[in-house]
């Protein structure tokens, strides 16, 4: 039996770290891709560099926008760190509550809403990122992105990691 088959057999223990890494990398990639497509492409609100710098501004404040591509890359790194943390939290919760694995679609949708709420109502106000008021359009766009590109992929990846282990 190959290492891959042994590692994915129902009797093999699930690596929480591996599941969280896969889920976080998938969600981080989908989320930043959607943000770039929507905000830089379709709406033309922010260029790619500025969008990534806006993530870094949570730690650096307005200075992030003067740092060029260096702070944009810092923003990208921070974005993936945040995605990995959200994924690790969901994987840990799904280990404790198997219903999150069985009802992964509902869990993913609700998790996307939770991520939006915590990021927008707790993390951003406590960060150094300045932001304008919440608008209905902004709320809807960001909720859709976080549900489809973060919540559901994290829940789906977690479900797959535990498939056959219920």
* 166 is a domain residue: no
**Residue 163: band (very low, low, confident or very high) from pLDDT cuts 50, 70, 90:** confident
User: Where in the sequence is the domain holding 42, given as residue range(s)?
Assistant: 15-161
Selection from 33, 65, 37, 34 nearest residue 49 by Cα: 65
* Domain count across the chain: 1
Residue 131 pLDDT: 76
Q: Token pair of 58, please?
A: 């949570």
Does residue 150 fall inside a structural domain?
Answer: yes
Q: What is the pLDDT of residues 31-58, one digit of tens each?
A: 999 999 999 999 988 999 999 999 999 9
CB 55 within 8 A of CB 46: no
**Assessment of whether the complete model's pTM goes beyond 0.85:** yes
- Is 89 a domain residue? yes
Q: What CA–CA distance (Å, rounded) separates 43 from 65? A: 20
C-alpha span between 30 and 121 (Å, rounded): 22
Structural domain contains residue 22:
yes
Residue 3 domain-assigned?
no
């Amino acid at each position: 039996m190959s290492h891959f088959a042994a590692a994915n057999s129902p009797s093999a223990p699930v690596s929480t770290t591996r599941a969280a890494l896969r889920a976080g990398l998938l969600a981080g990639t989908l989320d930043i891709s959607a943000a770039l497509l929507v905000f830089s492409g379709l709406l033309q609100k922010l260029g790619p560099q500025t969008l990534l710098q806006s993530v870094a501004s949570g730690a650096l404040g307005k200075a992030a926008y003067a740092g060029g591509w260096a702070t944009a890359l810092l923003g990208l790194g921070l974005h993936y760190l945040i995605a990995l943390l959200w994924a690790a939290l969901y994987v840990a919760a799904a280990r404790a509550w198997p219903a999150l694995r069985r009802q992964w679609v509902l869990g993913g949708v609700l998790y996307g809403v939770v991520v939006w709420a915590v990021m927008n109502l707790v993390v951003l106000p406590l960060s150094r990122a300045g932001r304008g008021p919440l608008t209905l359009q902004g709320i809807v766009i960001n909720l859709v992105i976080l549900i489809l590109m973060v919540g559901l992929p994290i829940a789906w990846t977690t479900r797959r990691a535990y498939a056959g282990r219920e």
